[in-house]
Amino acid sequence: MVKNFFDLSGRVALVTGASRGLGQYLARALAQAGADLVVTARRREDTESFARELRALGRGAASLSLDVRDEASIRNMAEEAEAAFGKVDILVNNAGCNVRKPSVEVAWEDWNKVLDTNLRGTFFVAQAVARRMIPRGYGRIVNIGSVTSVFGYGGIAPYCASRGGVKQLTMSLADEWGRHGINVNCLAPGWFRTEQNKVLYENPSWVEYLRERIPLHRPGLPDDLDGAIVFLASEASAYVTGQTLLVDGGITTGSLKATAD
């Protein structure tokens, strides 16, 4: 019998920032692959209906509150997740935020909000979960980055700095925790419509400009990430760690148009 390397049956996955958007899509993909889920948001009630949806798929699901900018909240969440299922095998560090401003207008509190959420929060959630993975000798950690982990865009300097930091953090943790059986990778989506960037998609000329820059000639759809997240969470990626997997339609090729006239 051929082994199904993508089967997550018996695994428990924790997804942060799962109240909406890509967090829910990623969690749903893991559930469809067989995993039980712990889904978190700053307010527990924001994920309770989603947890019920996951249970309707036949999976175990727990809804927990988590503010990734608060150390006590992270510590309590990790304890509660462990109590709910006895373990966490997979962590998807998805919680994030953005501030869109010209760099000369970015305030001190804007910088702190974005970096504290996207970079500091990612590290300390990974730390809290890894402390429990290390004694078991197994773990899959997927930090969510973006194309801004490798590209820079004007008007979102704190966000670019945070996502670049996530890429470097991923490599550092992979180097340190690999000896404990923990794989750490970064999943970097390209241009997907989310709550953070929906205002951009309301401008038809910007959408057309974006299409011209993407070799596959379209923005990403949520299920374009399904295969990548299941791959990084499963035994299919057993020898993959410290990597950034870009799912971006080819925009990071640097081409302005998908032609070579």
In sequence order, what are the residues at sequence separation of 6 or more whose Cβ sits closer than 8 angstroms to the Cβ of residue 217? 211, 249, 258
Which H/E stretch holds residue 109? Answer: helix 108-115
**What's the Cα-to-Cα distance from 179 to each of 120, 133, 136, 173, 176, rounded to whole Å?**
23, 12, 12, 11, 7
How long is the chain? 261
| 139 close to 130: Cβ distance less than 8 angstroms | yes
What's the gap between Cα 261 and its chain centre?
37
> CA-CA distance, 60 to 84, in Å (whole number)?
10
Closest alpha carbon to 160 in 169, 150, 170: 150
Closest alpha carbon to 124 in 101, 98, 91: 91
Active site residue 159: yes
Catalytic residue among 25, 138, 153, 159: 159
Burial of 55 (0-12, 13-18, 19+ CB in 10 A): middle
Q: Which two tokens stand for residue 23?
A: 């967090």
Hey, what amino acid is at 163?
A: R
- Annotated catalytic residues are 159
